[in-house]
């Protein structure tokens, strides 16, 4: 997941053109990533929901640890991926958008497949990711590095 994310970010940075756009892309990515992770961890603490592996005894883990660390709600993996893709959305070309959306959907489906999360966990993670991405957009629009393009 990390390699795919870095590859997508590198692709966006290479196609960004001038330096100010590259700085905006990096700032939006960083803000979205940090916000999504913080919001997801706070919600995990507040919700304190058990993972499917802890509730369903004969669930096939597909190689995932039987006793995963942390609570289920929301999916932090989904939150972070959706946050980064949504934060980058204004700077993505349509092929990059298709790749980013595909990565986000595959990560969310993977979390369900391995039994790490309930469907509501993934939906909550996606909502947190969209919120973090929207905040990153607002910051980039309100306080641009080098003036509005």
What pLDDT does 74 receive? 87
Query: How crowded is residue 135: how many other Cβ atoms within 10 Å of its Cβ?
Result: 18
**Considering the domain boundaries, does residue 149 fall inside one?**
no
What pLDDT does 120 receive? 86
What beta strand segments (E) does 6-146 contain?
A: none
**Considering the domain boundaries, does residue 147 fall inside one?**
no
**Considering the domain boundaries, does residue 128 fall inside one?**
yes
Give the separation between CA 88 and CA 104, rounded to whole angstroms: 13
- With both helix axes pointing from N to C terminus, report the angle between 76-88 and 19-47 in degrees, rounded to the nearest 10: 150
**Considering the domain boundaries, does residue 29 fall inside one?**
yes
Q: What is the domain range of residue 45?
A: 2-62+70-142
**Considering the domain boundaries, does residue 13 fall inside one?**
yes
**Considering the domain boundaries, does residue 102 fall inside one?**
yes
What pLDDT does 60 receive? 65
What pLDDT does 128 receive? 95
Mean pLDDT in consecutive groups of 10 residues from the start of the chain, 149 residues: 75 74 82 92 83 70 62 84 90 86 89 80 93 91 70
**Considering the domain boundaries, does residue 74 fall inside one?**
yes
What pLDDT does 67 receive? 61
CB within 8 A of 107, min separation 6: which ones?
A: 1, 77, 78, 81
**Considering the domain boundaries, does residue 148 fall inside one?**
no
Q: How many domains does the chain have?
A: 1
């Amino acid at each position: 997941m990390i390699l795919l994310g870095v590859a997508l970010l590198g692709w966006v940075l290479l196609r960004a053109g001038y330096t100010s756009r590259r700085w905006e892309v990096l700032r939006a990515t960083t803000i979205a990533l940090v916000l999504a992770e913080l919001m997801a961890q706070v919600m995990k603490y507040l919700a304190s929901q058990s993972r499917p592996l802890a509730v369903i005894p004969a669930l096939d883990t597909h190689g995932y640890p039987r006793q995963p660390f942390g609570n289920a709600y929301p999916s932090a993996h989904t939150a972070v991926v959706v946050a980064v893709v949504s934060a980058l959305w204004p700077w993505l070309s349509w092929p990059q958008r298709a790749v980013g959306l595909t990565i986000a959907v595959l990560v969310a489906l993977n979390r369900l497949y391995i039994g790490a999360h309930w469907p509501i966990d993934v939906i909550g993670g996606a909502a947190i990711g969209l919120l973090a991405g929207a905040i990153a957009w607002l910051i980039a629009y309100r306080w641009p590095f080098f003036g509005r393009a």
